[in-house]
A and B are shown apart, each in its own frame.
Chain A
Amino acid sequence: MAHPQDLTGDGQQFFEARRKVFPKAVDGPFRRLKWAIMLVALAIYYVTPWLRWNRGPYAPDQAVLVDLAHRRFYMFSIEIWPHEFYYVAGLLIMAGIGLFLVTSAVGRAWCGYACPQTVWTDLFVHVERAIDGDRNAQIKLQRAPWGPSKIARRIAKHSIWLVIGALTGGAWIFYFADAPTLGRAFVQGSAPFVAYATVGVLTATTYIFGGLMREQVCIYMCPWPRIQSAMLDEKSLTVTYKAWRGEPRSHGLKRAEPLAQVVLGTPSLVALIEQPELASRIGDCIDCNACVAVCPTGIDIREGSQIGCITCGLCIDACDGIMAKIGRPSRLIGYTTDLDARLAQAGEAPVPALKRLFRPRTLLYFGAWAGIGLAMLFALGNRERIGIGVLQTRNPQWVRLSDGSIRNGYTVKVRNMEERPRSVEIAISGVPGAVLWTEEAGRNQAARSVRVNVAPDQVAQVPLFVSAPGAGPTRADLAFTVRALDKEGGSARDTSFFERPEPTP
């Protein structure tokens, strides 16, 4: 429990209102990289469902399709059945290890560049700037009383945000059904309710997260910054304010005055101008706040690495611009590791980039990541596109036929995972004298194997009867083999039992 005094003390706040962030526009290499990644990411997201991929007449022609209704996942030439979910699990594990790899190699690059929260927030911020103007105009508008102009701008901004949100949610549903068909149905109002509900929910989340909450999602809601904080080490790239170069901040020469006072003992700015060698005692940081003004999460990077820093690099661009103007070397703020920072402070050379990248940790992550990827590729290349599953009828376990032989029943499921109809042969082995037949063919067609036609990309459920002479072990192993009869071939095997009654004494 908190001390009672803590609860009644001055300035005690249980809840903190969001301090609105008005990021200033900036240009530079990192900003341009963000533009490029944003364009690629958005293009992939919006265009992918509309790509076509010819799979013949029996399968959908959408390149990427998660067909939940029919339990199929299509990705270009790969088709995943539900029982092959380990491929999806493998992809998810690769994504996880991939994030570890990226974090250990280049720090929180995911947060800064590729995370959807970052990409969409960036998009929303640009819309905001296009309507309200840059940082100062936005702050001014925020403080201005409500009037026709402010209302009009606010309506315009939120409308565009909502439209972007709707388009975002709208694109999502096309991954789960044939995009052109669903698009038409959606516009005509005949799409399933779940499509509208999904678009509604995703419109709301996009609008709220990208427009209203922004950095609050990163700081309070997302678990990833916490995990990454634990993963960073002294060799991880972080956006670092080089305090040993920047401090003491001068804020122009005027702020340097007290320093001059200390050194010279005279309160004279002129003295400093007269003795320029003293300028080396002044840091490069002029306390212009450009790095704070452009930060999308509203932090001051000069306070050091912190959870709010998504390492987007915009403060680097901003600071470099200022450094160029005041004629100081760039990268007062830059991507540096803690180790390099210490070395630089001591006047030593930084660790070479390759040596830093190829360290045991990154190599281990890369090995695991690549190993899983290669194993999956190998498995994908060698997987059998035919399958069999045998379920023995348990009630009754056996049936005595009038000629004294014993019959067992089985439900055999044949998976034809090719996108064409196939003729297959199901054969049994393991029980002497055993024959099998289908219910429709009848026992007079009994043989050691039966032929079945399986529809393309379907599971055929074949009830089979197997009979064998009444004398024999109570339980014998019975193997079922399915073999495709087309020229591509392929076979699969499953085992079951053949059961007979206990011999009566």
Chain B
Amino acid sequence: MADEKRIDEPTGTSFVGHEWDGIEELDTPMPRWWLYTFYACIAFAAVMVVLYPAIPMLHSASTGVLGWSSHGDLAKEMAADHARRAPVMHALEQTPIEQIPSDPKLLRAAQEGGHSAFKVYCTQCHGAGAAGAKGYPNLNDDDWLWGGDLKTIQQTLLHGVRQPGDDETRMSQMPAFGRDGILKPAEVQDVVSYVRFLSKQEGVTASSRRGAAVFTANCAVCHGDAGKGNRAVGAPNLTDGIWLYGGDRDTITETVTNARYGIMPAWGARLDPVTVKMLAIYVHSLGGGEKTPVDPVPAPAESPVPAAVAAR
């Protein structure tokens, strides 16, 4: 502390009294515009308090003269975004699903829209990456119970699986062979051996030879003589490497004994048609999508225009 006001000779400014290792602080006056800038900031703040929400009240802040709110901003941006997307959504609504892939822009929009809808409605069962789980199909692979082309996927989405009250729902009913006493436990084990032989998980055994006969008598009607399944009735292919519930002996035994009845909501009743369309396109794009089968009508594939005319 300086007792007397001391003056720095070269500058004529008084010392403040602070000293660090011989370096002293001078009481140099601030520029006046600095003070004015400070006043301007205070004035700015006062205007802001009047114009915008600022003062905390009992339930919410004061509303401000402009009536601005962050919720209002969000609503405006959402409305603007809806308006921006409207033409694309309209085009998606108007275009038949099998023609969307020929328009890259539309296809991309549908894939992205389907991806975000998938996150909301589908991940609970099929998982965020659509890899499924036991009893919930993996949508990335190339194995489909009912078919993997765009129209078929859309149909499955619209009407769901085993939805009561929907005439077009995917409905397959495998008998509970063991529980209902159609097959004896030994026969069940034989047919399991045969199914594991079909999927190349086991070699030929006496049990699988006996099972072949049981299979032909009981299973081939839906799964086919070679066990390759039948999409018309939703019977899975038993010869491939993909199992919805599991391909080990215990799991197949459980499946044959009690049968499986997985379900999926009929999304046509819950979502708008465009969202269902986008979901179908997204699922189709995951890697297992199949080509839409060409109609077996005698129209040549090279001339789609006459075919379209003929269709009208």
Contact = CB atoms under 8 A, between A and B. Distances in A.
A16 interface: yes
B2 interface: yes
Given A5-B5, A396-B131, A439-B285, A402 B31 contact: no
A18 to B, nearest CB: 6
Given A6-B5, A9-B14, A15-B32, A401 B141 contact: yes
A399 B131 contact: yes
B29 interface: yes
A119 to B, nearest CB: 22
Interface in B97-151: 101, 127-131, 138, 140-143
B198 to A, nearest CB: 13
Contacts of B130: 396
A402 B33 contact: no
B289 A439 contact: yes
Contact of A401 (B4, B129, B241): B241
A214 to B, nearest CB: 11
B287 A399 contact: yes
B30 interface: yes
Contacts of B27: 2, 6, 12
A14 B29 CA distance: 5
B31 A15 contact: yes
A253 B127 CA distance: 99
A216 B33 contact: yes
Interface residues of A, number: 35
Contacts of A27: none
B242 A402 contact: yes
B140 A396 contact: yes
Contacts of B128: 395
Given A2-B17, A3-B1, A439-B289, A220 B142 contact: no
Contacts of A463: 285
B308 interface: no
Interface string B19-34: 0000000010111111
| Chain B interface extent, by class | 35 or more
B287 A407 contact: yes
A80 interface: no
Contact of A403 (B3, B33, B241): B241
B35 A395 contact: no
A100 interface: no
B241 A15 contact: no
A448 interface: no
A149 interface: no
Interface in A283-338: none
B231 to A, nearest CB: 13
Contact of A3 (B3, B285, B289): B3
B17 A439 contact: no
Interface string A458-488: 0000010100001000000000000000000
Given A2-B16, A399-B140, A15 B289 contact: no
B85 interface: no
B237 interface: yes
A15 B141 contact: no
A400 B14 CA distance: 83
Given A6-B14, A16-B31, A439-B285, A402 B5 contact: no
A89 B3 CA distance: 53
B291 interface: yes
B272 interface: no
Nearest to B101: A440
B8 interface: no
A394 B311 CA distance: 44
Contacts of A470: 241
A402 B14 contact: no
Interface in B215-255: 237, 240-242
A409 interface: yes
5 nearest A-B residue pairs (beta carbon): A395-B129, A402-B240, A396-B131, A404-B241, A16-B29
Given A5-B4, A396-B129, A402-B141, 7 more contacts: A3-B1, A395-B129, A400-B141, A400-B242, A401-B141, A402-B143, A407-B140
27 contacts: A2-B16, A3-B3, A3-B17, A5-B5, A6-B16, A12-B14, A14-B29, A14-B30, A15-B29, A15-B30, A18-B31, A18-B33, A395-B128, A395-B129, A396-B140, A401-B141, A402-B141, A402-B143, A402-B240, A403-B241, A404-B240, A404-B241, A407-B141, A439-B285, A443-B142, A463-B285, A465-B287
